[in-house]
């Protein structure tokens, strides 16, 4: 992989200037009301930030394309349509004391902006703008704040500040969480081949360290996946992020331990106990998800595909994929399932388990061994985060 010391000379002034002009043009179209000097300043700062943080020429171009496409997606409608179409939030806005905040990412109940931090370090921050009154359980930004404060540690994303936004029509209704700006996530890094397996597995080790910490505190993350593993740079360090649906035994707004909400986790990373209605699930759901993430990392040299297929987005599709891979469970292989509310409601085709060498042929033996200890039907049989972090796979 190219390093900062040898890729920048290959990027000519003409390409950088062209990029600034493209950003400027896209910004102008996204909100014609912004004065041109401000747009020019924004375009130069944005390109310079990407230039400073990118690790390769490909990375630089990908980031530039991303911001240009984002701006194009927010282009103002034609004059004839302006009265009938909502043009949305202007691309550069003020949020609290932060000026020139630019939309960065979307969430189900939040919008994330990046903004310069002109008074203190870090120089750039991420502003997670949430709408508590619109949230449905288990999403809860106020609980997320309490959990993040209690969970503060080396590889849990740092919560820098919290405030209620008092500007505009939504005055007082927006709760804003301030984080250091981490431009990368593991999903992006894997799909754009910004990391090799040796780097990615160290990122996962950082996350296992974070999981060990929060599990010992009595917390369950409930949404471990590559896009919730944020990176300072593709080379790291890595941080576990997005505690919006996390559960904490000491928090008054968390559900009772034996009646937890089942609608947690994301598609391919959801463990089977959730799919069969076990509301008494434990921290082991995070370990199953970590095993699914590891399977993607260990298969980085081949096609990057989730361990379990859920292309149709249905729970039955995911159950079928798990059963076809691990074998259809029985009372012997999954005894706890016999007491699950939804167990036995359907009859499934009987599948024999496939060996990990067949499921993940490009993964090394140590990776296959660790995955086999995390991806197990019986949740009590899954190894802990600390045990996983100490596995020989990590060297």
Active site residues: 223
CA–CA gap between residue 378 and residue 91 (Å, rounded): 48
Pick from 318, 297, 54, 133: which is nearest to 19 by CA?
54
What DSSP element (H or E) covers 184?
A: strand 184-185
Judge contact between 91 and 100, C-beta under 8 A: no
User: What does the DSSP 8-state code read for residue 174?
Assistant: E
Q: How far apart are CA 71 and CA 42, in angstroms?
A: 12
Distances 95 to 11, 38, 117, 119, 176 between C-alpha atoms, Å: 35, 17, 12, 15, 9
Residue whose tokens read 């390769």 = 56
H helices, E strands: number in the chain: 13, 11
> CB atoms < 10 A from the CB of 42, how many?
19
């Amino acid at each position: 992989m190219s390093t900062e010391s040898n890729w920048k000379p290959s990027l000519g002034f003409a390409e950088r200037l062209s990029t600034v002009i493209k950003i400027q043009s896209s910004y102008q179209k996204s909100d014609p009301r912004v004065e041109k000097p401000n747009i020019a300043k924004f375009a130069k700062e944005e390109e310079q930030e990407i230039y400073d943080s990118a690790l390769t020429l490909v990375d630089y171009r990908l980031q530039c394309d991303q911001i240009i496409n984002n701006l194009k997606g927010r282009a103002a409608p034609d004059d004839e349509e302006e009265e009938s179409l909502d043009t949305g939030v202007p691309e550069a806005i003020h949020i609290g004391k932060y000026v020139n905040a630019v939309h960065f990412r979307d969430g189900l109940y939040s919008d994330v902006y990046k903004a310069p931090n002109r008074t203190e370090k870090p120089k750039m921050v991420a502003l997670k703008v949430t709408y508590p009154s619109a949230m449905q359980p288990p999403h809860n930004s106020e609980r997320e704040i309490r959990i993040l404060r209690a969970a503060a540690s080396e590889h849990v994303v740092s919560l820098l500040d919290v405030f209620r936004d008092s500007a505009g029509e939504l005055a007082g209704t927006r709760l804003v969480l301030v984080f250091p700006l981490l431009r990368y996530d593991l999903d992006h890094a894997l799909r754009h081949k910004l990391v090799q397996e040796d780097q990615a597995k160290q990122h996962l080790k950082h996350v296992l360290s974070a999981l060990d910490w929060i599990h010992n505190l009595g917390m369950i993350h409930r949404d471990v996946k590559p896009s919730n593993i944020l990176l300072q740079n593709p080379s790291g360090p890595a941080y576990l992020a997005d505690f919006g649906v996390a559960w904490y035994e000491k928090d008054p707004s968390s559900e009772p331990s034996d009646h937890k909400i089942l609608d947690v986790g994301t598609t391919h990373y959801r463990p089977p106990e959730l799919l069969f209605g076990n509301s008494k699930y434990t921290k082991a759901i995070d370990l199953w998800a970590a095993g699914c993430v590891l399977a993607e990392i260990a298969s980085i040299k081949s096609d990057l595909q989730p361990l379990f297929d859920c292309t149709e987005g249905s729970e039955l599709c995911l159950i079928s994929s798990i059963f076809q891979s691990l074998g259809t469970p029985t009372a012997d292989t999954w005894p706890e399932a016999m007491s699950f509310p939804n167990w036995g409601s359907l009859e499934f085709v009987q599948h024999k388990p496939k060996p990990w060498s067949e499921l993940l042929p490009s993964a090394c033996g140590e990776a296959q061994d660790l995955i086999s200890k995390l991806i197990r039907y019986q949740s009590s049989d899954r190894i802990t985060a600390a045990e996983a972090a100490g596995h020989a796979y990590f060297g």
